[in-house]
Amino acid sequence: MAFSSPGRAPLRVALLGFGIAGRSIHAPLIQGVDGLVLQVVASRQEEAVRSTLPHVTLCGSHEDGATHADVDLVVIATANDRHAPLAEAALRAGKHVVVDKPFTITLAEARALRALAESRGLLLSVFHNRRWDTDFLALKALLAEGTLGHVAHVESRFDRFRPEVRTQWREQRVPGAGVWFDLGPHLVDQALQLFGLPESVSGTREVLREGAFVDDWFQYTLVYPRRQVVLQASMLIAALMPRFAVHGSRGSWLTLGREPQVPRLVLGESPEGAGWGEAPPPGRDGAPTVASAGDYRQYYAGIRDALLGGAPNPVTPIQAVAVQAVLEAGIRAQERGGAQGLDLSEAERAAFDAGAA
């Protein structure tokens, strides 16, 4: 795959946050796409930034990075409760914006940012990188071929084995913490891309580990006509479970294992290295051959092409608003019991359907 953009001035990027997501995922992916140049990093971790990216301009505050005069695109990889205010500041400063998942903490914040970006004529996108997982791409192709017939039951899960509660903010009593807001957006976005908006959401999230403060387990069902899509995540699964289990009128399809891109990035491997994004072996038992393996650089290549070449936004604000609506429906399902519908207007539903086609 080509990631070059010959003859065009590169887009100058500011990265807000230099934790695991910023340092190990966003920074190498941005640097791995021609046409993007990482110009500014906003973080208080000066030593870590200087040792890793000595060429960048360092800002001590996220707000300064969000409004920096020398950048075109702001990438927000901070704590979840800072996503909305920093995105708003960047948009008001005339910057295009990419927000790591979850888009925002509330549906109201998501709607407000979508409206602001539209009024300013600026690109706003959410980093749903899991659309470029190899197994997801294989499943998407399988459904397009119709090999499984009518798909009636899907299980999609994202498990980890972390029995000890960490001191990181994602596991503390802060807004937007817990696995429903951490891993849930991945699973929800994939489900919406495959099957569209559900009629309702049922299920619950729980705190299972000793000493845990926020949810570390969830099981939610997205209810469709003649279809149930079960989303699950746990911090206490040490065994290898099926990542996808898809059951249709003509057969079933299961995948095991985890997408290797994030572990490889966290270990410091460059996405520009040998073997990244190469095609996997042909599928088995009727599964399709995927044209290429998953490659998260495709997201940032899409952002570049949207800004420099008029290509579609790879993840639109209305798609991110829909994910947020599902997350909130899940919270209501736990609090009130029973299935909960999505708090989306008819105009929002129509916009999602138009953009998801």
Q: What distance in Å separates the CA atoms of residue 51 and residue 238, rounded to the nearest whole number?
A: 35
Q: What distance in Å separates the CA atoms of residue 225 and residue 233, rounded to the nearest whole number?
A: 24
Strand extents, DSSP E, the chain: 11-16, 36-42, 57-59, 73-76, 96-100, 124-127, 151-159, 200-206, 217-224, 227-234, 242-248, 251-256
- The four Cα atoms 305, 69, 31, 86 give a dihedral, to 10 degrees, of -90
pLDDT at 278: 61
Q: What distance in Å separates the CA atoms of residue 299 and residue 302, rounded to the nearest whole number?
A: 5
Using the Cα atoms of residue 197, residue 203, residue 209 and residue 215 in order, give the sign of their dihedral: positive
Q: What would the two tokens of residue 18 be?
A: 């230099």
Domains and CATH numbers, the chain: 11-130 (3.40.50.720), 133-294+316-356 (3.30.360.10)
pTM over 0.85: yes
**pLDDT tens-digit map of 172-225:** 999 999 999 999 999 999 999 999 999 999 999 999 999 999 999 999 999 999
Q: What distance in Å separates the CA atoms of residue 134 and residue 261, rounded to the nearest whole number?
A: 9
* Strand-pair partners of 161: 236
pLDDT tens digits, the chain, 357 residues: what are they? 444 555 578 999 999 999 999 999 999 999 999 999 999 999 999 999 999 999 999 998 999 999 999 999 999 999 999 999 999 999 999 999 999 999 999 999 999 999 999 999 999 999 999 999 999 999 999 999 999 999 999 999 999 999 999 988 899 999 999 999 999 999 999 999 999 999 999 999 999 999 999 999 999 999 999 999 999 999 999 999 999 999 999 999 999 888 889 888 988 888 887 677 665 554 444 444 444 578 999 999 999 999 998 899 999 999 999 999 999 999 999 999 999 999 999 999 999 999 754
Instruction: Tell me the C-alpha to C-alpha distance, in Å, between residue 206 and each of 34, 232, 333.
Output: 43, 12, 13
Report which DSSP code applies to 273.
Answer: S
pLDDT at 74: 98
Q: What distance in Å separates the CA atoms of residue 184 and residue 329, rounded to the nearest whole number?
A: 12
Instruction: Tell me the C-alpha to C-alpha distance, in Å, between residue 70 and each of 13, 46, 53, 73, 93.
Output: 9, 20, 17, 10, 11
The percentage of the chain sitting over the pLDDT mark of 70, rounded to a whole number, equals 93
pLDDT at 285: 46
